[in-house]
């Protein structure tokens, strides 16, 4: 290497951010590039089928150009991508599995079929949606054949008779996985857990008000269901809040754990306390007066009255 001068090209942070944006695109454009409806695209992102990155320039998230190219290069694109995000309701799901709607609902209430999303119809009834490929897989497994025909086992019937319905709880668990997959950093992961707890439970699990305030900065936006404060929005909020005591206890334990991890890596910011200025009155300036200035300044004043 003797006799050669090696130079390195450097770029500013702004230029790097600009280059990252040029190498990525908005989610709406990415959906069009991949031939997906907005709901299909969102679900693919939630499921980890499409990778997104934070938009450093304007908030939100973007899709790298390399990710679009990776998906396009897959065998069977775009049909295989679409097939993985097809979500169906009870009627279509029952038809896919070859069972009645009643049996399908029973299986879902027992927690054997896990919803992937939901919406509220015009009567404010919750309509649960399930991944079509998961339903086909469940029906194809030999171990589930007894659940698809014949009488429901007595123990399972007893649970249904007392009102067991694990659909909301299972959906919350799945949705937490969606949020954690997209969380950037330990505080964002803790905020994802906190978003599924009642504020009172969060206050009891996280005693420090500065940490609770910091959590709120990273709190993910919930899915929109009606205008804020509307009956539909309140119902959706209830579905997104842990209800059963053991579920609440699990979320609280997980919240305490994730906050402890976040605190260790990056403590929540706190206001800086500045020392207040000390005012010296004329009376205190007199020799021998209480509260008279001490130290070097006081010595100079006494030397030069």
Count of all residues that appear for the chain in the document:
305
- In the three-class reduction of DSSP (H, G, I as helix; E, B as strand; rest coil), residue 153 is classed as coil
Sequence-distant (≥ 6) Cβ neighbours of residue 52 within 8 angstroms? 27, 45, 61, 62, 63, 67, 182
Tell me the β-bridge partners of 126.
120
Does 13 score more than 70 pLDDT? no
Average pLDDT over all residues of the chain: 84
Domain ranges of the chain: 16-83, 87-165, 169-265
- In the three-class reduction of DSSP (H, G, I as helix; E, B as strand; rest coil), residue 160 is classed as helix
The per-residue pLDDT for 298 is: 54
Band of the pLDDT at 117, cuts 50, 70, 90?
Answer: very high
Residue where the block lists tokens 């938009």: 55
Strands lying side by side in the sheet with 126-131 = 87-88, 126-131, 117-120
Q: How do beta strands 126-131 and 24-26 pair?
A: unpaired
Q: How do beta strands 87-88 and 61-64 pair?
A: unpaired
Does 122 score more than 50 pLDDT? yes
Q: Cis (ω within 30 of 0) for the bond into 78?
A: yes
The per-residue pLDDT for 16 is: 42
The region of weakest confidence among 19-28, 65-74, 126-135, 261-270 is: 19-28
Q: Of 63, 145, 160, 61, which is closest to residue 108 (Cα–Cα)?
A: 160
Instruction: Give the pTM.
Output: 0.78
The per-residue pLDDT for 280 is: 54
Distance, in Å, from the CA atom of 144 to the CA atom of 138, rounded to the nearest integer, reads 7
Band of the pLDDT at 227, cuts 50, 70, 90?
Answer: confident
Does 8 score more than 60 pLDDT? no
The per-residue pLDDT for 54 is: 85
The per-residue pLDDT for 114 is: 96
Please name the helix (run of DSSP H) or strand (run of DSSP E) that holds residue 298, with its range, or none: helix 295-303
Work out the average pLDDT over 121-126.
Answer: 86
Angle at 275 between CA 272 and CA 279, to 5 degrees: 150
The per-residue pLDDT for 123 is: 83
pLDDT, tens digit, for every residue of 63-116? Answer: 999 999 999 999 999 899 999 999 999 999 999 999 999 999 999 999 999 999
Distance, in Å, from the CA atom of 36 to the CA atom of 226, rounded to the nearest integer, reads 24
Q: Give all strands (DSSP E) within 106-244, no chain letters.
A: 117-120, 126-131
Does 293 score more than 50 pLDDT? no
Q: Of 88, 252, 242, 89, which is closest to residue 168 (Cα–Cα)?
A: 242
Query: Could you write out the DSSP letters of every residue in 189-210?
Result: HHHHHHTTS-HHHHHHH---HH
CB 199 within 8 A of CB 254: no
Token duo for residue 137: 């897989």
pLDDT, tens digit, for every residue of 272-286? Answer: 776 655 555 555 555
The per-residue pLDDT for 304 is: 57
CB 31 within 8 A of CB 37: yes
The per-residue pLDDT for 1 is: 43
The per-residue pLDDT for 197 is: 96
Question: How many C-beta atoms surround the C-beta of residue 235 within 10 A?
Answer: 16
């Amino acid at each position: 290497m003797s006799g050669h001068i090696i130079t390195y090209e450097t770029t500013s942070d702004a230029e790097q951010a600009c280059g990252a944006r040029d190498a990525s695109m908005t989610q709406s454009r990415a959906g069009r590039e991949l031939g997906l409806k907005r709901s299909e695209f969102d679900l693919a992102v939630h499921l980890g089928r499409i990778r997104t990155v934070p938009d450093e320039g304007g908030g939100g998230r973007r899709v790298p150009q390399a990710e679009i190219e990776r998906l396009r290069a897959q065998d069977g694109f775009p049909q295989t991508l679409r097939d993985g995000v097809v979500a169906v309701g009870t009627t279509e799901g029952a038809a896919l599995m070859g069972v009645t709607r009643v049996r399908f609902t029973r299986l879902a209430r027992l927690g054997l079929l896990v919803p992937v999303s939901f919406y509220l119809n015009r009567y404010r009834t919750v309509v649960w949606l399930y991944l079509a490929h998961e339903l086909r897989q469940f029906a194809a497994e030999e171990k589930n054949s007894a659940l698809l025909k014949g009488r429901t086992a007595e123990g399972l019937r007893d649970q249904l008779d007392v009102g067991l319905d694990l659909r909301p709880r299972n959906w919350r668990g799945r949705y937490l996985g969606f949020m954690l997959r997209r969380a950037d950093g330990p505080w964002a992961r803790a905020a994802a857990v906190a978003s599924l707890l009642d504020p009172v439970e969060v206050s009891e699990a996280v005693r420090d008000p500065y940490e609770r305030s910091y959590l709120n900065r990273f709190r993910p936006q919930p899915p929109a269901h009606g205008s804020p404060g509307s009956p539909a929005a309140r119902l959706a909020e209830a579905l997104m809040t842990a209800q059963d005591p053991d579920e609440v206890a699990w979320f609280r334990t997980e919240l305490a754990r994730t906050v402890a991890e976040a605190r260790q890596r990056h403590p929540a910011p706190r206001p800086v306390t500045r020392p207040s200025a000390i005012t010296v009155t004329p009376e205190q300036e007199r020799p021998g007066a209480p509260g008279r200035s001490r130290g070097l300044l006081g010595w100079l004043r006494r030397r030069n009255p």
